[in-house]
Amino acid sequence: MNRIKNVGVLTSGGDSPGMNAAIRAVVRTGIYSGLEIFGIRRGYQGMIEGDIIKMETTDVSNIIQRGGTILKTARSKEFMTDEGMQKAYEQLCKHNIEALVLIGGDGTFRGAVKFFDRFTIPAIGIPGTIDKDLTGTDFTIGFDTAVNTAVEAIDKIRDTAEAHDRLFVIEVMGRDAGYIALNSGIACGAEDILIPEQITEIEEMLCKIDCDERRKKTVHIIVVAEGDDYGGAKEVKAAIVNRFPFKDVRTCVLGHIQRGGSPSYADRVLASRLGYSAVSGLLEGYTQVMAGIVHNDVVFTPFEQLIKRQIPVNKDMLEMIRVLAV
Ligand code: F6P
């Protein structure tokens, strides 16, 4: 019989739209199952400082539609130290927390692997990151909303680009992963998409611009992921201006706008399924795994297997971009 009674839940790393829906699902599934749920505020940093509150079902009312995270979040440097981890563990003991639900991305699970190397406590992860840079799940909470936000912004930029016959280089988020760039770029009919997973052939891009100029294709949208190997929007613009000094080029960095806003229906459903599955999985005895959705089924993947720097992007998609931009 599973004897877990008190479960802590936290959000860590960059926030993502839908984290609140996940917290709601964890709290309500936990209480429904007879558990006591404790919210750990500000991620691992709050764990170190004992910033822990008991949660009731009403604490998560009216949050499913809200961006951000009611538990707040942080990127804790202290947690990565031996002393920080020791303090965090002591706080868990002090509050009688016997198991954890960790909502976050790559950094959250890296921290988890180090922590659980030293301390034994059941834990389940939920993928919450706009970057979608984790294995073990087809989607991460917040990705769909972030792409929709980028698409809305890029469509607007295209209007003004067209009015002025301008070339725009638009930088989207994604330090190590180009999924937001790839998907928003395809959805907006971008002329080029530069992502970290593929070495940027700047000459090829410049030749294409030249070719489009000759064909009198006046509007040009280039979407670049912030982590592209050539650099972000600034560097790409510099290369273009250097080659075509008379071309009217502008940049736009979409930045943190992509992390906020009300989650899409897809992110709310994903977060609800994963929050529910995480608690159910914990009660079934799963531990040190992340709950994910693969081919519409819930799967549990060990933390160590999630952390892979770059997940290769679909080659067909890359070829398709070239074809559709002719
Ligand atoms: O959470 C992921 C992410 O949004 C990345 O795409 C981006 O590089 C990073 O976080 C930005 O982090 P911060 O908000 O700490 O500047």
How does residue 15 score in pLDDT terms, banded at 50, 70 and 90?
very high
Please report, rounded to a whole number, the percentage of residues in the chain having pLDDT higher than 70.
98
* Ligand 1 pocket residues where CB is under 6 Å: 13-14, 75, 105, 129-131, 173-175, 226, 259
| Average pLDDT estimate for 284-294 | 97
* Residue 174, pLDDT score: 96
Q: Domain boundaries in the chain?
A: 6-142+263-306, 144-259
Residue type (1 letter), 255 = G
Question: Ligand 1: distance of its center to the CA of 258 in Å?
Answer: 10
Q: How far apart are CA 202 and CA 224, in angstroms?
A: 12
Atom of ligand 1 nearest to the CA of 175: 8
Residue with CA nearest ligand 1 atom 8: 175
Domain pair 6-142+263-306 / 144-259, same fold: yes
Tell me what the pLDDT averaged over the chain comes to. 95
Tens digit of pLDDT for each residue in 38-74?
A: 999 999 999 999 999 999 999 999 999 999 999 999 9
Largest CA distance in the chain: 73
Mutate-to-test residue for ligand 1 from 258, 259, 309, highest number of ligand atoms within 8 A of CB: 259
How does residue 313 score in pLDDT terms, banded at 50, 70 and 90?
confident
Residue type (1 letter), 285 = G
The sign of the torsion formed by the CA atoms of 99, 105, 107, 110 equals positive
Which residue has 């294409």 as its token pair?
Answer: 208
Q: Are 285 and 34 in contact (CB under 8 A)?
A: no
Q: DSSP assignment, residue 232? A: S
- Domain 6-142+263-306 fold: Rossmann fold (3.40.50)
Residues serving a catalytic function are 131
* CATH number of this structure's domain 144-259, picked from the four choices 3.30.70.2080, 3.40.50.460, 3.40.47.10, 1.20.1340.10: 3.40.50.460
Count other Cβ atoms within 10 Å, centred on residue 317.
Answer: 12
